[in-house]
Amino acid sequence: MTFQAPVDDILLALKTASDLEARISAGLYDDLDADTLAAVIEEAGKFGAEVLEPLNRVGDKAGSKLVNGEVVTPQGWREAYDQFVAGGWGALPCPAEYGGQGLPEIVQMAVAEIWNATNMAFGLCPLLTQGAIHALMIAGTEEQKAAYLPRMVTGEWTGTMNLTEPHAGSDLGEIRTKAVPQGDGTYRLFGTKIFITYGDHELADNIIHLVLARLPDAPPGTKGISLFLVPKYLVNEDGSKGARNDVVCAGLEHKLGIHASPTCVMKFGEGDGAVGTIVGAPNRGLNTMFHMMNQARLAVGVQGVAISERATQHAEAYARERTQGAKLGGTPGEMVAIVEHADIRRSLLHMKAMTHAARMICFATAGEIDVSHLASSNDEREAAAARGALLTPVAKAFSTDASLEVSSIGVQIHGGMGFIEETGAAQYYRDARILPIYEGTNGIQAIDLVVRKLPMGGGAVVKSYIDDLSRMVGEVAASNRPEFGRMAEKLGAAIKALVFASQWMGEQLQSNPEAALASATPYLRLFGIAAGGAYLGRGAVAAVRGGDADARAVMLARYFAENISTEAPGLADTITGGAEAVIAATPERLGA
Amino acid sequence: MTFQAPVDDILLALKTASDLEARISAGLYDDLDADTLAAVIEEAGKFGAEVLEPLNRVGDKAGSKLVNGEVVTPQGWREAYDQFVAGGWGALPCPAEYGGQGLPEIVQMAVAEIWNATNMAFGLCPLLTQGAIHALMIAGTEEQKAAYLPRMVTGEWTGTMNLTEPHAGSDLGEIRTKAVPQGDGTYRLFGTKIFITYGDHELADNIIHLVLARLPDAPPGTKGISLFLVPKYLVNEDGSKGARNDVVCAGLEHKLGIHASPTCVMKFGEGDGAVGTIVGAPNRGLNTMFHMMNQARLAVGVQGVAISERATQHAEAYARERTQGAKLGGTPGEMVAIVEHADIRRSLLHMKAMTHAARMICFATAGEIDVSHLASSNDEREAAAARGALLTPVAKAFSTDASLEVSSIGVQIHGGMGFIEETGAAQYYRDARILPIYEGTNGIQAIDLVVRKLPMGGGAVVKSYIDDLSRMVGEVAASNRPEFGRMAEKLGAAIKALVFASQWMGEQLQSNPEAALASATPYLRLFGIAAGGAYLGRGAVAAVRGGDADARAVMLARYFAENISTEAPGLADTITGGAEAVIAATPERLGA
């Protein structure tokens, strides 16, 4: 079945979770309006369905290959990328001063959902380039910006993030790659990086690597890491492509999924050293990298939404087509489409409700990022930046965990066919599995939420957010609609559970931080369920106010409240009462 | 890391969930005692670790291939299978009159756990052969038994189950394969079967297919299906191998996992028809097949336990070896093994607790099957058969769903390395994904539990089982051990939730069966959590009575109670209050 861009659902998420209409009215987005936004998503949807989706399985089967030291992407990839560049899609969120369209984060995330739904292995390439552009915008010199940004903005050149080394994954303080100053403002880099997405390929004329490395006199640990720009090809003063730099792809990983996305082992300085320039101040590289990673984390959350959306559309099409078994109370022997069976309907509802909830959280986060950049008042910008920071780990981890659940149910709905690769459901399941891992594992997101984000503003940031969620649920209760069933009660119980667990977390951070760490993962899920449910409830209220009591928004909100929010009190119980059992399980006892 | 057979854990499951010691004392198992059992598992563990495990990744990479119309298994497979036969492992559970060792179901399930933990693609071959032997034992003629069983029992010949056709998966009533009587007691079969595990291979000299087909005058639907025995090679009167039969493998599926296990499209009667004999009475084939499938369902549940065990051992070894990040309160920059981090310990505990709970349920079921065959009194046999029937769908679905959770956490613990195929964690994740699908999807298991099993004996079967669980939890409460934390409270709440949900299910089956179907899946999970928790609690009580308050059994039971049983009240809420939202989501509204 051909992919249908979920234009209405994305707009609903923006209106519900990101106050799109109010923000447009207030002039936050200049002349962007909802119709333009819809048109952009629609157009992206066509590009995704026509150009990217047909390459998704092709790319999965063929994979990218290392041929004579150069990465070769699957057949058709280069042409698709050329069309992507020609269509101006890469430039969409980029600063106008470097040739971009300067569209806000919400638009970028909307089109990113499309790229990743139709072809996640392809979607990673622009995602990484955006991250590199972002790093240069915040920390690059004017020379660096002028030399690199114009062609990165169009997508003619792509970007990478070189962080991980074999012994330094989550703990970047252990990085050993060296950068030796040459006295002329350049550096020579020596070291090996692993897991470098699109570290090499032939899609673009040049690849701009952003590389974490240590200066010779750098202090140990995280405070001695600097960021460098190392192009695959040096760039001459006149902007033309110069000599090949001393950086090569030494190997490709054989992965569970996203086969077409080359995951490279990169060797810097096998010869005289890879020539680079420093980005930002010496020893301050992690700051820039974290900045850029934070934005990438939201983008990964959106990848989770994307793959969930695609898996859901795929499974639903199958469930409407495949006949098997008689309907309850129907004529025995008369097979019906399996979508008629209650257990399959539960499965599809679960996929849809989780996808919608994750999308709400991601677009809420994107909206906060926009306000943090675009609002006129400093207070507004700061408040939005804080809320965006609070929500980012939830957007990343909740959405990507959801994508595992959703893509797994997608396989299951297909029965035996789901296990056959040709069907396609299995690829979503495989591709999705990277999402909870990269850009900081979901365990690290949970710890970030608990340890760094909850204490922001002395707890005021999280409190004001939960207050907003409470108000949304209050409106569900006030609407008192019979179609809502027990929606208000269940959404309210989830908020109550979140309040209780958040208080407990605050106390533990003071008195017993290991307990807070031990319960961070279930806490993040509770946070996501409470937030996602509140947004869905708000969407349902808007629908009935608009006169559409039969709206799908009502159906999904009710399902979510009565079947997923019901997890929340148990999660609070686990969080507040389960940590001791974790702490008691020392490594020694665990292995006994 | 080399696989360690979980001898103690299997014995603990048998003692706790299957009353092993009492049953041995009562003479149920003749001269089998716990030491012999331990020795058998130990020996199987050696065979698995030395012979099967080294082929697991090899088989995954190479897969089985179709070469000139014959299936060729990966290198080393044939030798391993020969050793398996020579070691007498195939004959272990088989009837002594046909050369088997006649060991009970609990022993067979214990060794099956080992084969599937070390190499699930291999383990499927004997699993299918056992099913075919079982079908012949219950419905075959003396001639059929004499001609086929001796060599199937040794494993020289293997067996298959041919059920599915392209349009008839879950709904076997739609089967179209034809069997035409030849007037000499034989039949000629014509039709295509798909998803036939080990439908062809070169491991054994002959393959005995059990095939569902229709006689020419058969009534439509499930009441017109007969079972046939169709050997790959006809067997001469003197027992020697005769002519090649008209059955061929026409294709192999390209699957997400278990690559080495050939999943065949089988064509019967491309020429004059495949020669077969009928097994059991005409039009009664489904009865025999269901009998055999029921046993296979428990075996699939054990595959879930097996892959969970293997994924857990694999992840734990990595977590003890991989250093990353400083310990909370430790020296900054001094990396510790990740098993020291609380979030990783929670992950490992979750894997272990789910694996143990699933194993308890599977071995409880195996024990009931043994009692149903071996007890001296008819009443005992019948009661055990009923309880075994009640537990079988839970053993199958809960354990295989658990295997998805556990193998996914296993990938996650490895971080980026988990996504790399060489690491091995991804293979468990891929292999496990078939388990909730085959031998009846887990949705069908849930419906079986609710629609067929709960009403058994007017509800008395489930009631007496829950009463037994309650008594176990009562002993946890009575023991009043400080090490137990809130174990009794949480296990008790899970039982209470199960009682409540079971009553609701009973009522819906009378008044609103669609609601019962809509909530069947969460009901099965609740059932598994309540049962698994009670068994773990019982194991903890036994450990402290034995003077070992620090026992791992206590640690895992407490974790399970305080972190997993906590789901139970929410599940009861979903079951009893969530079905309406599912029913309200008609196929039309779902797609709106």
- How far A400 CA lies from chain B's nearest CA (Å)? 12
- How far B592 CA lies from chain A's nearest CA (Å)? 7
The answer to whether residues A226 and A283 touch, using CB atoms and an 8 Å cutoff, is yes
Closest CA to A90 of A142, A33, A44: A44
CA gyration radius, chain A? 24
Q: CB–CB of A585 and B412 under 8 A?
A: no
For residue B211, CA distances in Å to A321, B157, B161, B214 come to 27, 16, 6, 10
Question: Can you list the pairs that A134-137 forms with residues at least 24 positions away whose Cβ atoms lie under 8 Å?
Answer: A134/A291, A134/A292, A134/A295, A135/A210, A135/A227, A135/A279, A135/A288, A135/A289, A135/A291, A135/A292, A136/A210, A136/A229, A136/A279, A137/A95
Q: CB–CB of A408 and B404 under 8 A?
A: yes
Question: Considering B234, B252, B283, which residue would you say is the last residue of a domain?
Answer: B283
The verdict on residue A513 lying in a domain is yes
Size of interface A-B (CB pairs under 8 A): 289
The answer to whether residues B589 and A552 touch, using CB atoms and an 8 Å cutoff, is yes
pLDDT digits (tens, 9 = 90+) for A414-456: 999 999 999 999 999 999 999 999 999 999 999 999 999 999 9
The answer to whether residues B36 and B235 touch, using CB atoms and an 8 Å cutoff, is no
Sites in chain B below the pLDDT cut of 50: none
To test the contact with chain A by mutation, choose from B346, B352, B450 the residue with the greatest count of A C-beta atoms within 10 A, namely B346
Enter the DSSP assignment of B213: E
Q: Which domain holds residue A512?
A: 456-587
Q: Specify the pTM.
A: 0.98
Confidence label for A83 from pLDDT (cuts 50, 70 and 90): very high
Q: Are strands B187-197 and B233-235 parallel, antiparallel or unpaired?
A: unpaired
Cα angle value A249/A252/A257 (rounded, 5°): 140
pLDDT digits (tens, 9 = 90+) for A21-37: 999 999 999 989 999 99
Backbone angles phi and psi of B370, in degrees to 5: -60, -50
The answer to whether residues B332 and B365 touch, using CB atoms and an 8 Å cutoff, is no
The answer to whether residues A170 and B413 touch, using CB atoms and an 8 Å cutoff, is no
CA–CA separation, A191 vs A183, rounded Å? 20
CA–CA separation, A337 vs A287, rounded Å? 54
Q: To 10 degrees, the CA torsion angle through A398, A399, A401, A405?
A: 130
The verdict on residue A577 lying in a domain is yes
Spell out the SS3 assignment of A134-188.
HHHHHHCCHHHHHHHHHHHHHCCEEEEEECCECCECCCHHHCCCEEEECCCCCEE
Q: CB–CB of B589 and A320 under 8 A?
A: no
Residue of A nearest to B443 (CA): A343
* pLDDT for the residue B255: 98
CA gyration radius, chain B? 24
The answer to whether residues A337 and A402 touch, using CB atoms and an 8 Å cutoff, is no
* Single-letter amino acid code for the residue at B344: I
Which residue from B254, B339, B569 is facing A570, i.e. has the nearest CB? Answer: B569
Spell out the SS3 assignment of A528-578.
HHHHHHHHHHHHHHHHHHCCCCCCHHHHHHHHHHHHCHHHHHHHHHHHHHH
* pLDDT for the residue B549: 83
Question: Considering B230, B252, B283, which residue would you say is the last residue of a domain?
Answer: B283
3-state secondary structure of A129: helix
Does residue A485 carry a pLDDT above 90?
yes
* Single-letter amino acid code for the residue at B447: I
Q: Are strands A157-162 and A206-213 parallel, antiparallel or unpaired?
A: parallel
Residue of B nearest to A9 (CA): B592
CA–CA separation, B538 vs A394, rounded Å? 38
* pLDDT for the residue A170: 86
B309, B340, B368, B439: the catalytic one is: B439
Q: CB–CB of A569 and B574 under 8 A?
A: no
**Domain containing residue B145: CATH number:** 2.40.110.20
Q: CB–CB of A558 and B174 under 8 A?
A: no
The verdict on residue A531 lying in a domain is yes
The answer to whether residues B212 and B162 touch, using CB atoms and an 8 Å cutoff, is yes
Q: CB–CB of A341 and B517 under 8 A?
A: yes
Instruction: Calculate mean pLDDT across residues A531-554.
Output: 94
The verdict on residue B392 lying in a domain is no
Interface predicted TM-score (ipTM): 0.98
To test the contact with chain A by mutation, choose from B214, B256, B327, B348 the residue with the greatest count of A C-beta atoms within 10 A, namely B256
Integer distance in angstroms from the first to the last C-alpha of chain A? 51
Tokens of B103: 């060991």
Backbone angles phi and psi of B119, in degrees to 5: -170, 90
Which residue from A328, A426, A562 is facing B514, i.e. has the nearest CB? Answer: A328
pLDDT digits (tens, 9 = 90+) for A26-72: 999 998 999 999 999 999 999 999 999 999 999 999 999 999 999 99
Q: What DSSP line would sit under A356-381, residue for residue?
A: HHHHHHHHHHHHHHHHHHH-SSHHHH
Residue of B nearest to A324 (CA): B171
CA–CA separation, A481 vs A462, rounded Å? 30
Which residue from B254, B342, B562 is facing A420, i.e. has the nearest CB? Answer: B254
- Strand partners of residue A175: none
CA–CA separation, B16 vs A296, rounded Å? 49
Question: Considering B283, B314, B348, which residue would you say is the last residue of a domain?
Answer: B283
Enter the DSSP assignment of B453: I
How many CA within 13 A on the CB side of residue B253? 26
Q: What DSSP line would sit under A262-327, residue for residue?
A: -EEEEEE-SSS-EEEEEESSTTBHHHHHHHHHHHHHHHHHHHHHHHHHHHHHHHHHHHHH-EEEEP
3-state secondary structure of B259: coil
To test the contact with chain B by mutation, choose from A120, A256, A348 the residue with the greatest count of B C-beta atoms within 10 A, namely A256
Q: CB–CB of B415 and A352 under 8 A?
A: no
The answer to whether residues B160 and B207 touch, using CB atoms and an 8 Å cutoff, is yes
CA–CA separation, A242 vs B18, rounded Å? 74
* pLDDT for the residue B291: 85
Closest CA to A561 of A481, A465, A501: A481
* pLDDT for the residue B333: 78
Q: CB–CB of A578 and B566 under 8 A?
A: yes
Residue of B nearest to A171 (CA): B325
Confidence label for A479 from pLDDT (cuts 50, 70 and 90): very high
CA–CA separation, A21 vs B372, rounded Å? 67
Q: CB–CB of A419 and B433 under 8 A?
A: yes
Q: Kindly report the number of other CB atoms within 10 A of residue B479's CB atom.
A: 16
* pLDDT for the residue A28: 96
Q: CB–CB of A341 and B552 under 8 A?
A: no
A113, A165, A309, A439: the catalytic one is: A439
To test the contact with chain A by mutation, choose from B164, B566, B589 the residue with the greatest count of A C-beta atoms within 10 A, namely B566
The answer to whether residues B452 and B394 touch, using CB atoms and an 8 Å cutoff, is no
Residue of B nearest to A351 (CA): B590
Which residue from B485, B551, B570 is facing A570, i.e. has the nearest CB? Answer: B570
Which residue from A328, A486, A518 is facing B342, i.e. has the nearest CB? Answer: A518
The verdict on residue B401 lying in a domain is no
Residue of A nearest to B433 (CA): A419
The verdict on residue B45 lying in a domain is no
* pLDDT for the residue B148: 97
3-state secondary structure of A439: coil
Residue of A nearest to B411 (CA): A433
Closest CA to A399 of A522, A523, A300: A300
CA–CA separation, B209 vs B159, rounded Å? 6
Which residue from B195, B555, B567 is facing A567, i.e. has the nearest CB? Answer: B567
Which residue from B325, B434, B583 is facing A170, i.e. has the nearest CB? Answer: B325
Contacts of A255 in chain B (CB under 8 A): 419-421, 426
The verdict on residue A573 lying in a domain is yes
- How far B31 CA lies from chain A's nearest CA (Å)? 31
Q: CB–CB of A416 and B169 under 8 A?
A: yes
Q: CB–CB of A485 and B580 under 8 A?
A: yes
Which residue from A347, A518, A590 is facing B348, i.e. has the nearest CB? Answer: A590
Tokens of A485: 């069933």
Closest CA to B271 of B250, B252, B248: B248
Residue of B nearest to A582 (CA): B346
pLDDT digits (tens, 9 = 90+) for B540-552: 999 999 998 888 9
The answer to whether residues B320 and A587 touch, using CB atoms and an 8 Å cutoff, is yes
To test the contact with chain A by mutation, choose from B582, B586, B588 the residue with the greatest count of A C-beta atoms within 10 A, namely B582
Cα angle value B517/B522/B528 (rounded, 5°): 120
Q: Tokens 């409240």 identify what position?
A: A561
- Split into its structural domains, chain B has a count of 2
- How far A351 CA lies from chain B's nearest CA (Å)? 11
Active site residue A50: no
The verdict on residue A543 lying in a domain is yes
Q: CB–CB of B559 and A582 under 8 A?
A: yes
Instruction: Calculate mean pLDDT across residues A140-169.
Output: 96
Q: CB–CB of A562 and B581 under 8 A?
A: yes
Q: Kindly report the number of other CB atoms within 10 A of residue A330's CB atom.
A: 12
